[in-house]
Amino acid sequence: MAAHLIRHHIEGKSVTQTSLLAASGVPYATAMRRLKDLSAAGFVEMRARTRAGKGVSLHPSARLIESWTRLAQRVRRIALQNFGDKSSIAVRDFYFGGSYMHGHSIQTPRALAEPLTLAGGLRILVHGDPTFMVMENLKRQFELIIGCKIHQRAFSIDRLREEALRNVERKASRYDIIAVDLPWLGEFVAKGVLAPLDEIMDIGRLDPPDFHTAGWRATHWAGRPYGVPSQTTPELLFYRKDLFAEAGLEPPQTVEGVLRAARILHKPAQGRYGIAWNAARGTALGHTFMMTCADFGQPILNLEPIAGGFDADRLDRDGLRITIDTDGGLEAAEYLRSLLSFSPPDILSMSWYERIRPYAAGKVALAYGYTLLAPYFELNPNSPAYGQTGYLPHPSGQRDGHPIAPVGGYMLGIPANIAPERRNEAVEALIAFTSPEAQKLYVVNGSRTAPRYSVGSDPEVRSLSSIFEAVDAMSWRDELQFWPRPPVPEISDVIQICGEEMHDMLRGLIPPRQALRRAQERADQLTQNRSSS
């Protein structure tokens, strides 16, 4: 029964009492006694499945996960001592559910048994970030793997969304595969941009349990998968370990700790600032505000609280409303305003890359940033942050809160209007590009995102960066969450609204409460207009 709970937790599947009793393999009365024993020992958590509290789902508690991890580590050590390479016993981490054991390196991708015959080659639409640029650099190798030419177009984040929405208006898609920022999923499903994958392929071929749970769940809408995680890149807090050691500082666990560290390490006269973050007007700051709200336990929608966060699995249900003008929203706004005092003078124009470049150059001591941007300093031996960066989830803003690593990144999907004769081969390419072998290849060539447990636990991958071990551990501790940016259809507009009103607040034009009220009113008007139309 414990194995059933753990396995379904890894796969992101719900467990009912009926299914758990059936999985026990013993008579009903015996299974019920065992379930009561597990609950009494604090190994099982029950969550209401509806607002009315009708029906519950069962989940492994933190205690069961910790106990199971220790058991897996013991079994592995015993196996290594008796059957394996004793030199490997010191390796600490093993992820139950991963597809690969330590010492079994993922191999180079193999060529498809049947080469693709797509007329004009495979056409892909992506974002112009470091990971997708690695894919572009490996184009020749992947052309050999799939057996046809590859044509990749890369856009900035806003232009990528515009092009994907234009594409759905065409009679036949211009692309065979498109990259989708995770928050866009609800909008893209509502507008018919993506084909549901369970209609066009066998989902089991993707090996779903191998993906980080939050990343895999974030590709689903109304319980159906619409894409495959290509990048599971949480936003973390990067910090200079050497500077912290010199100042006698511990890695911050709370937002108060972040402010204290930023204040102590903020030395403008020496050309160094405390912290960098996304504060540019619009999309960039909008994302920052929403994720900061999550640090204070405030989702941007009225989501139901569950163990470890909030329920974002069924965002297609009725009754959801936007929640910006709240006490948690106020705490988040005031925290961002406090960060200004220890930020670079051009912070209000810093966005995705601008916040990481000064960190890589040694001009700031801390930075909020996605793991996909880590190559800016991890691959540059001349960077003061090279080999000196620690990785933390977002420190909590709540007194009894827990850290959270808001999941970002992209999934790859198949356009709904793809020509029928191209669909099957596009699926084969999708599987090839998101396989463990391909994703390890991206990492070896400079990417710092690994959406699969098997890739993150590969010994060669682990040797390249501590970031993979850190993210795997966050996923296992349930700190990786996608509810901070729930992919409802209107989320892009809500992000823009928050980014505009919070920017006016940071510029000192309006106080925090007014900024929150204006953002709430604009968001409410947005949803009213859509519901009336």
Show the domains of the chain with their CATH numbers: 1-92 (1.10.10.10), 122-233+407-470 (3.40.190.10), 235-406+484-532 (3.40.190.10)
pLDDT of residue 87: 43
The amino acid occupying position 28 is Y
Q: What is the 3-state secondary structure (H, E, C) of 57-77?
A: EEEECHHHHHHHHHHHHHHHH
pLDDT of residue 96: 43
Pair of tokens at residue 165: 């929405």
Nearest one of 485, 330, 297 to 406, comparing CA atoms: 485
**Cα–Cα distance for residue pair 176/190, rounded to 1 Å:** 20
pLDDT of residue 84: 58
- Residues 17-43 have pLDDT tens digits of 888 998 998 988 899 999 999 999 999
**Cα–Cα distance for residue pair 495/64, rounded to 1 Å:** 37
Query: Could you read off the pLDDT tens digit of each residue along the chain, which spans 533 residues?
Result: 999 988 877 655 678 888 899 899 898 889 999 999 999 999 988 866 554 556 777 888 878 877 887 787 678 767 766 775 544 434 444 444 443 344 457 877 888 888 899 999 999 999 988 778 888 888 888 998 898 999 999 998 889 999 999 999 999 999 999 999 999 999 999 999 999 999 999 999 999 989 988 899 999 999 999 999 998 889 999 999 999 999 999 999 999 999 999 999 999 999 999 999 999 999 999 999 999 999 999 999 999 988 778 888 888 888 899 999 999 999 999 999 999 999 999 999 998 889 999 999 999 999 999 998 999 999 999 999 999 999 999 999 987 778 999 998 899 999 999 999 999 999 999 999 999 999 999 999 989 888 998 998 888 899 999 999 899 888 888 898 989 999 999 999 999 999 999 999 999 999 999 999 999 999 999 888 766 65
Nearest one of 347, 365, 324 to 512, comparing CA atoms: 324
Pair of tokens at residue 358: 């000064």
Q: Are strands 228-232 and 409-413 parallel, antiparallel or unpaired?
A: antiparallel
Q: Any long-range contacts for 522-527 (C-beta under 8 Å, 24+ apart)?
A: 522/497, 523/322, 523/324, 523/490, 523/493, 523/494, 523/497, 524/321, 524/322, 526/490, 526/493, 526/494, 526/497, 527/321, 527/322, 527/490
Q: Any long-range contacts for 61-69 (C-beta under 8 Å, 24+ apart)?
A: 61/307, 62/478, 64/2, 64/5, 64/6, 64/38, 65/6, 65/9, 65/476, 65/478, 67/43, 68/2, 68/6, 68/96, 69/94, 69/96, 69/476
pLDDT of residue 52: 57
pLDDT of residue 73: 65
pLDDT of residue 58: 85
pLDDT of residue 92: 42
pLDDT of residue 323: 96
pLDDT of residue 97: 42
Contacts of 488 (CB under 8 A, 6+ apart): 186, 187, 301, 315, 320
Q: Which helix (H) or strand (E) holds 151?
A: strand 150-155
Write down the number of H helices and E strands in the chain. 23, 17
Q: Is 441 in contact with 195 (CB distance < 8 Å)?
A: no
pLDDT of residue 530: 62
Annotate 150-177 with b (16+ C-beta within 10 A) or e (fewer).
Answer: bebebbebeebbeebeebbeeeebebbb
Q: Is 145 in contact with 111 (CB distance < 8 Å)?
A: yes
Q: Is 335 in contact with 354 (CB distance < 8 Å)?
A: no
Contacts of 160 (CB under 8 A, 6+ apart): 125, 126, 127, 179, 181
DSSP state of 167: H
Strand, coil or helix: 21: helix
pLDDT of residue 10: 62
